[in-house]
Structure 1
């Protein structure tokens, strides 16, 4: 849920992987792979990519952007 909140707070803007990791896991050591797994689950829950709907885009190596 924290990942979605971070993306919605900055809707239309690139949110770096580091910012997402810091917001979702503020007191824990998390890696890019953790973010990838949870981003995949979030996209699945939102049905991102299904029926032509896009909500989250990835800017490779930089971060994510909520575009809906």
Structure 2
């Protein structure tokens, strides 16, 4: 099976991309406190997305 044929893998990839894009504004020098909260949400999305991609195939998770 290919990586894009699994529903969990596709959701995981989308979560990783969205999480990465959510973290980018927090890296700006003039980021306010709200961006720190968005940074936490973005990091959580990347972690969940990575977990979904890692466990989408049968066998031992990476």
TM bin (shorter chain): 0.3 to 0.5
Greater C-alpha radius of gyration: 2
Higher relative strand content: 1
TM-score with structure 1 length normalisation? 0.32
TM-score with structure 2 length normalisation? 0.34
